[in-house]
């Protein structure tokens, strides 16, 4: 007979497994530029594992890829509030701020991400999905890219509307 702890443990493991499946779906959809489907998969992953930052951070990055910078700003702002210790969420938020022409806010978010990444590197910890990523190096490269191109050279987000055509 199962105890309450066993049932709870099994539910948590099932939720984490479901979240991983949804994140895999999200990446698959992104590889085919199916933005809405990828974002929906991130939402499902976040519902399965609300304590993890990766689904929400990825949703924001996918919104940026889809040209929905305003949506990404809101999503990533919520991600940084809900998961203040997640460097990746702050990096994506900084990127969204930069793309929206908010350079000072972008630099503040990137500085926060840098402090978090350095602290994680010092104690040998990384966030979910960040095991082999040099976040400090990523931040340095992002900052250099911003200096090289400047926000005035960033075009407004491209929003493409595709219509289905029938041969009738």
Would 163 be classed as within a structural domain? no
Would 162 be classed as within a structural domain? no
* Total structural domains within the chain: 1
pLDDT at 158: 43
Would 160 be classed as within a structural domain? no
In tens, the pLDDT along 38-76 reads 999 999 999 999 999 999 999 999 999 999 999 999 999
When pLDDT is averaged across residues 108-133 and rounded to a whole number, the result is 71
pLDDT at 64: 94
Q: Looking at residue 19, which CATH number applies to its domain?
A: 1.25.40.10
Would 73 be classed as within a structural domain? yes
Would 80 be classed as within a structural domain? yes
DSSP result, the chain = ---HHHHHHHHHHHHHHHHHHHHHHHHHHHHTT-HHHHHHHHHHHHHH-TT-SHHHHHHHHHHHHTT-HHHHHHHHHHHHHH-TT-HHHHHHHHHHHHHTT-HHHHHHHHHHHHHHHHHHHHHT---TT-TT--HHHHHHHHHHHHHHH-GGGSPPPP----------
Would 61 be classed as within a structural domain? yes
Would 15 be classed as within a structural domain? yes
Would 116 be classed as within a structural domain? yes
Q: Which domain holds residue 28?
A: 4-153
């Amino acid at each position: 007979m199962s105890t309450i702890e066993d049932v709870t443990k099994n539910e948590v493991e099932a939720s984490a497994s479901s979240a991983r499946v949804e994140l895999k779906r999200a990446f698959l959809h992104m590889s085919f530029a199916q933005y809405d489907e990828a974002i929906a998969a991130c939402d499902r992953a976040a519902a399965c594992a609300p304590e993890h930052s990766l689904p929400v951070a990825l949703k924001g990055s996918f919104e940026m890829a889809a040209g929905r910078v305003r949506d990404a700003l809101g999503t990533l702002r919520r991600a940084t509030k809900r998961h203040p210790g997640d460097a990746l969420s702050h990096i994506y938020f900084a990127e969204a701020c930069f793309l929206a022409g908010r350079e000072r806010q972008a630099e503040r978010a990137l500085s926060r991400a840098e402090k978090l990444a350095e602290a994680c590197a010092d104690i040998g910890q990384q966030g979910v999905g960040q095991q082999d990523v040099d976040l400090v190096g990523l931040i340095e490269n992002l900052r250099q890219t911003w200096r090289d191109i400047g926000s005035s050279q960033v075009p407004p987000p491209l929003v493409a509307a595709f219509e289905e055509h029938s041969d009738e």
